[in-house]
Amino acid sequence: MSLTLPEGRLRRVLLGASPWLFFVALIAVWEVGCRLFSVPAYILPAPSVILNAFFDVEFSRWMQHLWATLRVALLGFLISIAVSIPIAIAMMRSEWLSRTLYPLLVVIQSTPVVAVAPLIIVIMGSDDPSRILITCLLTFFPLVVSTATGINETPPELIELSRSLDAPTRRETWQIRMPYAIPHIFSGLRVAITLAIIGAVVAEFVAAEEGLGYFIQFSTSFFRIPQAFAGLFFLAVVSLLLFKSVQWAQQLLFPWSLPRKGA
């Protein structure tokens, strides 16, 4: 039996449904496995137990935690975009800047944020700004790298052409280089948005009074493992939605930058 799908409409339906079917099958195996081997809830709760735990927490409480995490993740993400794209453009324009900044960026990226987070909290306090900074530290590097890669992707002939026509650097950047960079920037954004959630959660593990990461940690401290799993799933769904939103944004704003279907 091969794994190729039949042709035509059926194929498209199956292709669309397959992630859902796979997900449902996974949940079913999990549920049955937990019941069959009577796995205790504090080791691995069954999906039905997790679902119950999810509805045991008040909706307004979920929203409160969600808002706390989302606020930090999105602000960190936006600030990262605002910082890293200009840095990437500046680095592309000046070799001196590129040589000076690149090692520093690599050092920042390779420093484990988990290790630095407590220091940031001590220096900047335990409020949103330090959590946003922690998120930025995680998200801005993939953005700088993807933007810089994209800008450098521009065919040199086009650059030569624009220079021979005396186009100002500004136009060269925005009208020639940027269109080539857009697909790369968006792949960077997709990585960065999931990292933003991770950053917010890491920050909440170190210092927070609310948020989904805090909720998970808190539930574990009370050995309420089903509740912790419920938080985890909620977080995963939020991550997926944000990831998808970046894709939607690309479809809406730069439809030409998407790879052509079937190509």
Our finding on whether 208 is near other proteins (CB under 8 A) is yes
DSSP strand E in 157-253: where? none
Instruction: Tell whether residue 218 is a contact of other proteins (CB under 8 A).
Output: yes
With respect to other proteins, which residue has the nearer C-beta, 61 or 244?
61
Does the footprint of other proteins cover residue 215 (CB under 8 A)?
Answer: yes
**Helix, strand, or coil (residue 4):** coil
Our CB check for other proteins shows the closer of 123 and 165 to be: 123
Q: Is residue 63 a contact point for other proteins (CB under 8 A)?
A: no
242 binds other proteins (CB under 8 A): no
Please count the residues of this chain forming the interface with other proteins, following the rule CB under 8 A. Answer: 27
Residue 71 structure tokens: 């606020």
Q: What is the DSSP string of 30-97?
A: HHHHHHHTT--TTTS--HHHHHHHHHHS-HHHHHHHHHHHHHHHHHHHHHHHHHHHHHHHHHHH-HHH
Whole-number Å distance between alpha carbons of 71 and 77 = 10
Which range binds other proteins by CB under 8 A, 26-34, 76-84, 117-125, 148-156? 117-125
Q: Rule CB under 8 A: is residue 130 a binding residue for other proteins? A: no
Q: Compare residues 130 and 162 and give the one whose CB is closer to other proteins.
A: 130
Q: Contact with other proteins (CB under 8 A): which of 131, 184, 190, 224?
A: 224
- Kindly tell me which of 2 and 221 has the beta carbon lying closer to other proteins: 221
Polymer length in residues for the chain = 263
Q: How far apart are CA 30 and CA 26, in angstroms?
A: 6
* CB within 8 Å of 113: residues ≥ 6 apart: 134, 137, 138, 199, 202
Strand ranges (E), the chain = none
Contact status: 58 vs other proteins (CB under 8 A): yes
Residue 207 binding other proteins, by CB under 8 A: yes
Among 27-35, 53-61, 84-92, 184-192, the segment contacting other proteins (CB under 8 A): 53-61
Site residues, other proteins (CB under 8 A): 40, 42-43, 57-58, 61, 118, 122, 125-126, 205-209, 214-215, 217-225, 227
